[in-house]
């Protein structure tokens, strides 16, 4: 059972006279029990006034637990409230208006608090809680737990400081000033930070010169500008195949102009966005292929972060249907193993990316005619070390460097005098096109130098991306 003690009397008196609300007064008296703050605002006011009326010889503590009338009833019976209050014209209707001087003393319990601007008055009452609940319900989110965070006006910190200083000055209060740190919230707003920084710097005597202590009573109640709902991100992973040689992985935009109308990430994400009712998405994958390269085999692992989704619960059956929807809507891509994953699991897609192997199939053209025997020796080459200077075609976005890459194995397939197919198993990150044509000698050795004739690559397919994530599903 928490209570106010005799030493709190002057604090209660001073703050009540200054126009501070009961909940703020309890804070400044270092009352820690949450239970007390839950009592209806008007009950708290009544109890504080009782506390001041009773002399120290009669009683030296105030116990709140004995006062427990239902809050609703008290509100409706209040003599100052007219019958229109029964009309339920909205939750904010009962916010006290600025009182004229005559009634201010009588109705000091409805003055807007000079420290919290009314945030611990109306916003702690059932009506405002109802309003928040309505907003949450109407936003139509699926959720199992929630965080309620409040963004407070920056001037609250200043008022808090002013109230604290006056207590310190006039009461020589001994309570720990750490109790009165400005309320913190998650979203950092520059102006709020600035106010807090300024308050940290300013000397007490300067503060007293610039700001009334205790803070003056505000004319208007602080209003809730917005009640916002947000859901944590949900992650979906899978593997995709790309069957088109004119489809980029992500939107291809040069100088603000779109080059191709679609992309892998859009073809997948548009369906996820609609089903999860998310605000936006972030696409990531295990490496990427060029716009003219197909990705075959089991496909390339990808993950999509869905930001602020309304819907988050999907059964395996629903995910399967979603996958079918994606697959029937385009013949340029296919997805498999579509599933919900955790944020942490996505790390596995990226980790060790350099060490992973990839297999490719390249259609190669040679200037000088070839016979089967000319290319057969390629099959015997194992663990071929390459020095690859950053390719000319990516030099505008990658730093110039020489990277060592390994071609683990090769298998050739003769087609005709100027064409053959080469299957390669390589270290991830190897530039295959450059390994074939040599990139003006920037990749050494290369197919051209090995065959001792000019060679070029006509088509390239990714045959497998050897990353064992996400888990394979049996659909």
CB nearer Zn ion, residue 221 or residue 333: 221
How far, in Å, CA of 423 to CA of 445, rounded?
A: 17
CB nearer Zn ion, residue 20 or residue 231: 20
CB nearer Zn ion, residue 27 or residue 389: 27
CB nearer Zn ion, residue 28 or residue 235: 28
Report which of 164, 161, 150, 175 is spatially closest to residue 227, judged by C-alpha positions.
150
Give the side-chain half-sphere CA count within 13 A for 106. 8
Q: Which residues, 346 to 405, sit near Zn ion by CB under 5 A? A: none
- Joined tokens for residue 83: 């019958």
Q: Which of 279, 290, 456, 466 is catalytic?
A: 290
Give the side-chain half-sphere CA count within 13 A for 312. 20
Q: Which stretch binds Zn ion (CB under 5 A): 22-30, 32-40, 335-343, 365-373?
A: 22-30
- Which of 24, 48, 247, 303 is in the footprint of Zn ion by CB under 5 A? 24
CB nearer Zn ion, residue 92 or residue 369: 92
Report which of 182, 240, 194 is spatially closest to residue 467, judged by C-alpha positions.
240
CB nearer Zn ion, residue 29 or residue 349: 29
In the residue annotation, 43 being an active-site residue is answered as no
Least separation in angstroms between residue 355's CB and Zn ion is 60
How far, in Å, CA of 300 to CA of 333, rounded?
A: 11
Q: 325-357: b or e for each residue (b if 16 or more CB lie within 10 Å)?
A: ebbeebebbbbbbbbbbeeebbebbeeeeeebb
CB nearer Zn ion, residue 38 or residue 372: 38
Q: Which stretch binds Zn ion (CB under 5 A): 15-23, 84-92, 139-147, 169-177?
A: 15-23
Least separation in angstroms between residue 136's CB and Zn ion is 25
Q: Which residues, 258 to 297, sit near Zn ion by CB under 5 A? A: none
Least separation in angstroms between residue 284's CB and Zn ion is 47
User: x/- contact string, 98-127, with Zn ion (CB under 5 A)?
Assistant: ---------------x-xx---x-------
Q: DSSP states of 42-92 as a string?
A: HHHHHHHHHHHHS-TTT-SEEEGGG----HHHHHHH-TTS-GGGGG---GG
How far, in Å, CA of 230 to CA of 187, rounded?
A: 13
Q: Angle at which helices 264-276 and 316-329 pack, to 10 degrees?
A: 140
Least separation in angstroms between residue 37's CB and Zn ion is 11
Least separation in angstroms between residue 23's CB and Zn ion is 6
Q: How many residues bind Zn ion (CB under 5 A)?
A: 6
Compute CA distances 416 → 182, 374, 420, 421, 451, whole Å. 79, 12, 7, 10, 15
Q: How many helices (H) and strands (E) does the chain have?
A: 16, 14
Report which of 132, 69, 125 is spatially closest to residue 94, judged by C-alpha positions.
125
| Interaction between residue 158 and Zn ion (CB under 5 A) | no
- Structural contact between residues 242 and 294, judged by C-beta atoms closer than 8 angstroms: yes
- Which of 11, 15, 18, 21 is in the footprint of Zn ion by CB under 5 A? 21
Least separation in angstroms between residue 24's CB and Zn ion is 3
Q: Which stretch binds Zn ion (CB under 5 A): 19-27, 148-156, 434-442, 453-461?
A: 19-27
- Joined tokens for residue 109: 């319990």
Least separation in angstroms between residue 254's CB and Zn ion is 57
- Residues in contact with Zn ion by CB under 5 A are 21, 24, 113, 115-116, 120
Q: Which residues are catalytic?
A: 290
């Amino acid at each position: 059972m928490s209570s106010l003690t005799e030493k709190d009397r002057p604090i209660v008196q001073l703050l009540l006279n200054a126009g501070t609300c009961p909940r703020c007064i309890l804070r400044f008296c270092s009352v820690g029990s949450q239970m007390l703050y839950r009592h209806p605002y008007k009950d708290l006011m009544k109890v504080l006034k009782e506390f001041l009326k009773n002399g120290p010889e009669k009683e030296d503590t105030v116990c709140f637990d004995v006062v427990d009338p239902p809050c609703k009833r008290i509100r409706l019976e209040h003599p100052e409230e007219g019958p229109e209050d029964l009309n339920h014209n909205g939750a904010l209707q009962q916010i006290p208006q600025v009182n004229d001087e005559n009634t201010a003393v009588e109705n000091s319990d409805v003055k807007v608090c000079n420290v919290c601007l009314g945030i611990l008055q109306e916003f702690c009452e059932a009506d405002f809680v109802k309003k928040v609940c309505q907003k949450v319900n109407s936003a139509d989110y699926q959720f199992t737990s929630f965080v309620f965070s409040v963004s407070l006006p920056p001037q609250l910190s200043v008022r808090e400081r002013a109230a604290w200083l006056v207590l310190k000055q006039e009461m020589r209060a001994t309570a720990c000033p750490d109790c009165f740190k400005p309320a913190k919230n998650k979203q950092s707003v520059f102006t709020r930070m600035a106010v807090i920084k300024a308050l940290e710097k300013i000397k007490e005597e300067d503060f007293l010169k610039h700001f009334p202590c205790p803070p003056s009573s505000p004319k208007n109640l602080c209003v809730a500008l917005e009640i916002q709902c947000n859901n944590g991100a949900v992650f979906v992973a899978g593997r995709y195949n790309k069957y088109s040689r004119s489809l980029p992985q992500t939107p291809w935009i040069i100088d603000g102009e779109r080059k191709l109308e679609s992309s892998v990430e859009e073809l997948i994400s548009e369906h996820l966005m609609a089903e999860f009712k998310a605000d936006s998405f972030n696409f990531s994958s295990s490496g990427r292929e060029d716009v003219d390269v197909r990705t075959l085999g089991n496909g390339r692992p990808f993950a999509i972060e869905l930001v602020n989704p309304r819907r988050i619960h999907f059964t395996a059956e629903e995910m399967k249907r979603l996958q079918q929807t994606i697959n029937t809507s385009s013949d340029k891509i296919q997805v498999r193993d579509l599933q919900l994953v955790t944020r942490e699991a996505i790390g596995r897609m990226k980790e060790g990316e350099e060490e992973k192997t990839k297999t490719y199939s390249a259609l190669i053209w040679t200037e000088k005619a070839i016979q089967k025997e000319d290319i057969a020796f390629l099959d015997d080459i194992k663990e071929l070390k390459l020095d690859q200077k950053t390719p000319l075609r990516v030099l505008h976005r990658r730093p110039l460097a020489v990277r060592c890459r390994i071609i683990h194995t090769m298998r050739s397939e003769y087609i005709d005098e100027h064409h053959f197919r080469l299957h390669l198993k390589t270290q991830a990150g190897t530039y295959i096109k450059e390994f074939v044509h040599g990139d003006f000698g920037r990749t050494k050795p290369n197919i051209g130098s090995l065959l001792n004739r000019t060679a070029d690559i006509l088509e390239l397919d990714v045959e497998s991306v050897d990353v064992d994530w996400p888990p394979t599903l049996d659909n």
